Amino acid sequence: MNDRRIRKAIFPVAGLGTRFLPATKSIPKEIMTLIDRPLIQYAIDEAREAGIEEFIFVTSRGKSALEDYFDESPALAAELDRKNKTELAKVLESTNMDSGAIAYIRQTRPMGLGHAVWCARRLIGDEAFAVILPDDVIAGQTSCLKQMIDAYQQVGGNIVAAMEVPKNKTSDYGILGATDTSQRIVPVNAMVEKPSPEMAPSNLAVIGRYILSPDVLSALDGAGLGVGGEVQLTDAIAKQISADGVYGYRFEGQRFDCGSKAGYLQATVAFGLAREDLRDELMAYLYDLVPSQVLAS
Binding site for ligand UTP (CB under 6 A): 12-19, 29, 58, 107, 110-113, 115-116, 133-135, 259
Smaller CB separation from ligand UTP, 22 or 74: 22
In the complex, least distance from residue 17 CB atom to ligand UTP, rounded to whole angstroms: 4
What residue type is assigned to position 229 of the chain? Answer: G
Smaller CB separation from ligand UTP, 178 or 207: 207
Smaller CB separation from ligand UTP, 80 or 258: 258
Smaller CB separation from ligand UTP, 80 or 175: 175
Q: Give the integer Cα–Cα distance in Å for 11 and 55.
A: 7
User: What size, in residues, is the chain?
Assistant: 297
Q: Residue with the closest Cβ to ligand UTP? A: 15
In the complex, least distance from residue 206 CB atom to ligand UTP, rounded to whole angstroms: 12
Q: Give the integer Cα–Cα distance in Å for 214 and 127.
A: 6
In the complex, least distance from residue 21 CB atom to ligand UTP, rounded to whole angstroms: 8
Q: Give the integer Cα–Cα distance in Å for 172 and 255.
A: 15
In the complex, least distance from residue 220 CB atom to ligand UTP, rounded to whole angstroms: 13
Which residues, 6 or more positions from 230, have their beta carbon under 8 angstroms from its beta carbon?
111, 112, 113, 114, 115
Closest CA to 66 of 106, 94, 125: 106
In the complex, least distance from residue 168 CB atom to ligand UTP, rounded to whole angstroms: 19
Smaller CB separation from ligand UTP, 30 or 204: 30
Q: Give the integer Cα–Cα distance in Å for 20 and 247.
A: 32
